[in-house]
Structure 1
Amino acid sequence: MTKQKAMNCLYHGSPTSPQPHFVLVPFLAQGHIIPIVDLSHILVDQGAFVTFVTTPLNASRIRHYIECARELQLPIRFVTLPINCSEVGLPEGSENLDTLTAGLKQFDAFLEACLQLRDPLISYLKEHGPPPNCVISDLCQPWTGDVARTFGIPRFSFVGFSAFSHLCRHIINSKNIYDKVTDDHQPVPLPGFPHPLEIPKTQSPLNFSISAGGVRYMIREEEPKVQGVIVNTFEEMEPLYVECFEKAIQKKVWTLGPMGLYNRNTKKPDTRGDKASIDIERCMNWLDGMQDQSVIFVSFGSLARIMPLQLIEIGLGLEASKKSFIWVMKSGPHNTEFEQWLIEERFEERTKDRGLIIRVWAPQSAILSHNAIGGFMTHCGWNSVIESISSGVPMITWPHFAEQFLNEILVVDILKIGVRIGVTSSVTWGSEKRDEVMVKRDDVERKVLELINEEGEGMKKRVKARELGTMAKKAMEEGGSSYQNIKLLIQEIQQQIPLVEVERANGLESLKVQN
């Protein structure tokens, strides 16, 4: 590396304003990795140096992003550390949550596997400069607290919840509100919430909880030690919940989103996820042939496992609605039966003039931002919700587990930009019942028609969604609330860099930056 390039890597502005070095550690799940990829773009464009920690499998999934970052000579270093899956009883290659064949039954072991990254990361950071100044890591990577303490630097936690869901989760955990509840379906009030709110246990984040093991204890122990919490939202959308969450945890809550809008604002290519299994140009050309706000987009994320009989009901409901649709479905053993049904019933041929099925991975952000999209049937994972909001698209909500029912409450009851499909209880991830149909074809047809409607409630929700989309874009533009928070976060870390480190940086001779 030349001296000039080293200077460019070290400083943003002048030598008296050192370039902060952020270590980013996402949880190893697709929905958690994507916003951290977005955050890395944001930080380096504002003058930071980033070390992005991943594993071989997950590095292969974001290889397009890695290649793009290197081609553009961005100050991002990708550190790929191996995991010994067999050591914790997992099959080799179980490096992402969506690779767990038994779902929730393997979750604890997966968290133990992630713990293996701690010591190798500490060793790597000791051996390779520049010295780290801040760790931003997922809530489910509590071992990163040890990394931060080793180098005497702050740690900020990040998890893909809204501020609303963060606040709900904090109250549920800190107050143990379900301890004496005998009926899991009984609505339970959340004490201290800023307005009346009742949530049954079946719709709480505890439906995706881990056992009372070592990693869970670490998570609870580490949460109060973080310097702040980063949330992929914007203040104008949920100011009450941001304020109340800050008061509840007595920490600064940094609203830096919607992070996914950053690529759009800077005109950077969207390389944050796996390669789409459909040519993006073909997909966009198909949408170009549709009327504005006439297409329903159907996608349930990377973890939800929908059984064949339920998939058939979705398909028949979409067909009966007579509305145009894009439907994303994952591959897997449980989908073989459904694929056979598609062939036997000639479903794709029957709906070819107004339906497009995408298998495995879709360019979701590009699809949602197209004018032809009029609604999004979603599992209510926060990435999907915030991307839909960013694009001004209303939603049909179909939560499955984790905090998704909380996101549904925010979307439908508070923001009023969605309609419920009608599910009332979570499913156990990895133990889905093959013959269970939670939503009938008539429900799918009715909700699609309710949302894709040129008047009435559907129109009101579309107008409200577009208003929120405009607010989201303004938050991420120069001078916007999230944009300003990004600058303030970087400044805060710069101010904490010890003087001796600044002097060391001025020397440059002993610095080794390896990409």
Structure 2
Amino acid sequence: MDSQQSNNQLHVVFLPYPTPGHMIPMVDTARLFAKHGVNVTIITTHANASTFQESIDSDFNSGYSIKTQLIQFPSSQVGLPDGIENVKDVKDGTSPEMLGKISHGMLMLRDPIELRDWVRTTNAATAYFEPIFESEARSYGTICNSFHELESDYEKVSKTTMGIKSWSVGPVSTWANKGDERKGNRGHVEKNVEKERELLNWLNSKQNESVLYVSFGSLTKLFHAQLVEIAHGLEKSGHNFIWVVRKNDRDENEEGFLQDFEERVKESNKGYIIWNWAPQLLILDHPATGGIVTHCGWNSTLESISVGLPMITWPMFAEQFYNERLLVDVLKIGVPVGAKENKLWNSFTVEAMVRREEIAKAAEILLGNGQDSKEMRTRAKKFGDAAKRTIEEGGHSYNNLVQLIDELKSLKKSKALGEKAD
């Protein structure tokens, strides 16, 4: 499958030396890599990029995965006029003094390239998160809603880089709701028995693993044009689906489209629309459900993993794009729908809209009969089994929670003894 293969696409970074004799052939080499299916990033400064950006834009518009990543040349710090970022820009190119300043400026680019400020930029959220990270570093430890079998490598990295204790005790929703017959009603006080019975009857009428569950969480607000694309994409896929449409998603002036769509899928019996709140755990755990279209929020991600479901990943904002990388590239249980724009839930643009063709294609990969699809579903089931084992007595999460509680009890006792001694 083309989409599956793109998940393992090679990414090559090029860092051309800022003189024409080096830059021209390296940029051309980068373009050749892109034309052979490689994902390419060229790191350079603003003035240097202007000499070849037109070619890069042309290649990108032709469908090749190539881009430039700009970093700031420290002209003023080394005593050079703005825009002097290349040996060719120095009027007297043989001047040792000027060449020395260019070289010094290039050496100063080492940190922003290796600390990767071009990836981790300072923005409005920085002031919000930095105190949180500082507080975390001073804390006794961290409790994580994850489990060892899912993120063991990240557990090791966290412990070695943060230098504080951590305990993975998840998936907490699966654990807390284990054996609870009312789990379908989680977070919802008023239970509509009639609606739930109707939904279950519809699910019971479907073959195992044939239904795609579509939900974007409680915060995401989609504009009407995107809702239209989702509707046509689901219909185009030919698969059964349950689609949760939030009240905020509906444009009062254009609500008729969704109502007409609901009537149409009712007649065909291929789809089921749920307005506002849905018994998500109940739906995910039903044998007819074969996968989920998700915004990659961590709760929905863990709930899906816990029941062994593969996912179509459609991140919207915040850490959801990182979660997508985990699902698609690391765990290999996700199919990306092609979402690229990381913005607040109420500021999506038409330009970043995901089209119906991509939605239908991702659905076919997820629920299709191809070998890649089968292997992905098999991997998802293995993680689901691991999620159930880890919360049983003797499992990693079970032992971590018991260990943490015992440790906190001992800590409290030792502090009490210390206070008495004082």
TM normalised by structure 2 equals: 0.67
Asked if 1:289 is matched to 2:205, the reply is yes
Runs of 5+ consecutive residues of structure 1 not aligned to the other structure: 1-179, 192-197, 503-515
**1:239 is matched with which residue: 148, 152, 156?**
152
1:39-438 paired onto structure 2 within 5 Å: 201=119, 210-211=124-125, 213=127, 215-216=128-129, 218-267=131-180, 269-270=182-183, 272-275=186-189, 279-332=195-248, 335-343=251-259, 346-352=260-266, 353-433=269-349, 435-436=350-351, 438=353
Comparing 251-260 with 280-289, which one deviates more in the overlay?
280-289
Q: 1:383 corresponds to which letter in structure 2? A: N
Structure 1 residue 327, shift from structure 2 partner: 0.3
Please give the secondary structure, in 2, of the residue aligned with 1:422: coil
Please give the secondary structure, in 1, of the residue aligned with 2:292: strand
Asked if 1:479 is matched to 2:394, the reply is yes
Separation in structure 1 between the aligned mates of residue 212 and residue 117 of structure 2, nearest angstrom: 29
Change (3 A) 1:391 1:410: same
Structure 1 residue 432, shift from structure 2 partner: 2.6
Please give the secondary structure, in 2, of the residue aligned with 1:477: coil
Runs of 5+ consecutive residues of structure 2 not aligned to the other structure: 1-43, 50-66, 71-109, 111-115, 418-422
Is the Cα contact below 8 Å between 1:231 and 1:255 reproduced in 2? yes
Separation in structure 2 between the aligned mates of residue 199 and residue 391 of structure 1, nearest angstrom: 38
Comparing 449-458 with 304-313, which one deviates more in the overlay?
449-458
Change (3 A) 1:339 1:465: same
Q: 2:383 corresponds to which letter in structure 1? A: L
Pick the structure with more helix per residue: 2
Separation in structure 2 between the aligned mates of residue 283 and residue 246 of structure 1, nearest angstrom: 45
Separation in structure 2 between the aligned mates of residue 199 and residue 316 of structure 1, nearest angstrom: 40
Separation in structure 2 between the aligned mates of residue 224 and residue 449 of structure 1, nearest angstrom: 44
Is the Cα contact below 8 Å between 1:276 and 1:362 reproduced in 2? no
Structure 1 residue 285, shift from structure 2 partner: 2.3
Change (3 A) 1:407 1:338: farther
Separation in structure 2 between the aligned mates of residue 457 and residue 276 of structure 1, nearest angstrom: 41
Structure 1 residue 293, shift from structure 2 partner: 0.3
The Cα offsets for residues 346-396 of structure 1, whole Å up to 9 and x where unpaired, read as 211211112111111111111111111111111111111111100100000
Provide the identity percentage.
38
Structure 1 residue 284, shift from structure 2 partner: 2.2
Separation in structure 2 between the aligned mates of residue 211 and residue 217 of structure 1, nearest angstrom: 9
Is the Cα contact below 8 Å between 1:235 and 1:255 reproduced in 2? yes
The Cα offsets for residues 26-79 of structure 1, whole Å up to 9 and x where unpaired, read as xxxxxxxxxxxxxxxxxxxxxxxxxxxxxxxxxxxxxxxxxxxxxxxxxxxxxx
2:376 equivalent in structure 1 = 461
The Cα offsets for residues 126-164 of structure 1, whole Å up to 9 and x where unpaired, read as xxxxxxxxxxxxxxxxxxxxxxxxxxxxxxxxxxxxxxx
1:117 equivalent in structure 2 = none
Structure 1 residue 498, shift from structure 2 partner: 3.4
Larger radius of gyration between Structure 1 and Structure 2: 2
Q: 2:282 corresponds to which letter in structure 1? A: A
Separation in structure 1 between the aligned mates of residue 307 and residue 319 of structure 2, nearest angstrom: 22
Separation in structure 2 between the aligned mates of residue 423 and residue 500 of structure 1, nearest angstrom: 51
1:138 equivalent in structure 2 = none
Please give the secondary structure, in 1, of the residue aligned with 2:235: helix
Is the Cα contact below 8 Å between 1:293 and 1:373 reproduced in 2? yes
Structure 1 residue 443, shift from structure 2 partner: 1.0
Is the Cα contact below 8 Å between 2:208 and 2:289 reproduced in 1? yes
Is the Cα contact below 8 Å between 2:333 and 2:379 reproduced in 1? yes
Is the Cα contact below 8 Å between 2:216 and 2:295 reproduced in 1? yes
Structure 1 residue 219, shift from structure 2 partner: 2.1
Change (3 A) 1:493 1:272: farther
Q: 1:454 corresponds to which letter in structure 2? A: N
Separation in structure 1 between the aligned mates of residue 219 and residue 319 of structure 2, nearest angstrom: 13
Change (3 A) 1:257 1:378: same
Q: 1:391 corresponds to which letter in structure 2? A: V
**1:496 is matched with which residue: 393, 411, 415?**
411
1:153 equivalent in structure 2 = none
Please give the secondary structure, in 1, of the residue aligned with 2:273: strand
Change (3 A) 1:276 1:431: farther
Structure 1 residue 478, shift from structure 2 partner: 1.2
Is the Cα contact below 8 Å between 2:220 and 2:345 reproduced in 1? yes
Is the Cα contact below 8 Å between 2:391 and 2:398 reproduced in 1? yes
Comparing 318-327 with 275-284, which one deviates more in the overlay?
275-284
Is the Cα contact below 8 Å between 2:221 and 2:248 reproduced in 1? no
Is the Cα contact below 8 Å between 1:210 and 1:216 reproduced in 2? no
1:19 equivalent in structure 2 = none
- RMSD over equivalenced CA pairs, Å: 3.2
Please give the secondary structure, in 1, of the residue aligned with 2:293: strand
Change (3 A) 1:431 1:461: same
Change (3 A) 1:285 1:334: closer
Separation in structure 2 between the aligned mates of residue 382 and residue 327 of structure 1, nearest angstrom: 19
Separation in structure 1 between the aligned mates of residue 316 and residue 143 of structure 2, nearest angstrom: 24
Separation in structure 1 between the aligned mates of residue 117 and residue 329 of structure 2, nearest angstrom: 13
Separation in structure 1 between the aligned mates of residue 160 and residue 255 of structure 2, nearest angstrom: 50
Structure 1 residue 269, shift from structure 2 partner: 3.1
Separation in structure 2 between the aligned mates of residue 317 and residue 500 of structure 1, nearest angstrom: 60
2:60 equivalent in structure 1 = none
Is the Cα contact below 8 Å between 2:340 and 2:352 reproduced in 1? no
Separation in structure 1 between the aligned mates of residue 179 and residue 133 of structure 2, nearest angstrom: 38
Asked if 1:439 is matched to 2:337, the reply is no
Please give the secondary structure, in 2, of the residue aligned with 1:265: coil
